[in-house]
Amino acid sequence: VAYFDEKKKLLNKHFLVTAGPTYEKIDPVRFIGNFSSGKMGFALAEELAQQGARVSLVCGPVSLQVQHPNIERIDVVSAEEMKQAALEIFPQTDGAVMCAAVADYRPKFPATEKIKRQNSDMTIELEANDDIAACLGQMKKEGQVLVGFALETRDEQANALKKMKRKNLDFIVLNSLQDKGAGFGVDTNKISILTKDNKAIDFQLKMKTEVACDIVDQLASCF
């Protein structure tokens, strides 16, 4: 047992992982959301647990199941609920990986009754959700590691670097859109890791489970 334990990179550590989309209510039966499947976040949670860590996985609505017994799953629906859960858990952790595709906006006046169809256009007024990663970045204590993701359609590296600074992240995982096999819904991803000490590491297109290993290796190197 000791032999195997020694090879685990994150034994006795505790991490928060956010995953999946968030749903923002328009009325009791409709929402604003996105196509995030949660696969990358779940793969990360599994790999962290494989490396000996305890994981609190805060996830939006996804159709995935947790495998490892050291992963505690906390289901939420909206960005606001995700923020509440994350703020509560983060102080007890060694760090967080912010993998969720959080809706940037929510309907300002969600209807309590189902909105009836009218033969005219309609407008939904939206208000901004809080930036959960940035909130954690402000709370971050010495020794905690905070990791974020970025998906950009132009000036990828420059925009990702700005995001890393703005949110006080230790490194940021840039999802490449250059490849059809990367991103939402699919089982593969192509990433670059940009670190706060200005390193850029490019990885090949691979399975999200293998991408998770690369990200967890980088995370382990931060301790």
Binding footprint of ligand CTP on the chain (CB under 6 A): 18, 79, 98, 100, 102, 104, 129, 131-133, 148-151, 163
Of 12, 34, 119, 198, catalytic: 34
Flag whether 179 is marked binding: no
> Within 10 A of 117 (CB to CB), how many other CB atoms are there?
7
Flag whether 13 is marked binding: no
| C-beta closer to ligand CTP: residue 111 or 134 | 134
Flag whether 15 is marked binding: no
Which residues, 6+ apart, have CB-to-CB distance to 77 below 8 Å? 22, 23, 60, 61
Shortest distance (Å) from residue 65 CB to Ca ion: 26
| Residue 152 touching Ca ion (CB under 5 A) | no
Q: Is 159 a catalytic residue?
A: no
Please calculate the CA angle 5-65-178 and round it to the nearest 5 degrees. Answer: 90
Query: Which residue type sits at 211?
Result: V
Flag whether 171 is marked binding: no
| Residue 37: both structure tokens together | 């499947």
| C-beta closer to ligand CTP: residue 98 or 193 | 98
Shortest distance (Å) from residue 166 CB to ligand CTP: 7
| Residue 104 touching Ca ion (CB under 5 A) | yes
Residue 128 to residue 121: CA distance in whole angstroms? 23
Q: Is the dihedral of CA 196, 162, 211, 104 positive or negative?
A: positive
| C-beta closer to ligand CTP: residue 72 or 104 | 104
| Runs of H (alpha helix) within 7-113 | 39-50, 79-89
| Residue 223: both structure tokens together | 């301790």
Q: Please give the residue ranges that form the binding site for Ca ion (CB under 5 A).
A: 104
**Binding-site residue ranges for CTP:** 104, 114, 149, 163, 167
Residues annotated as catalytic (active site), given as ranges: 34
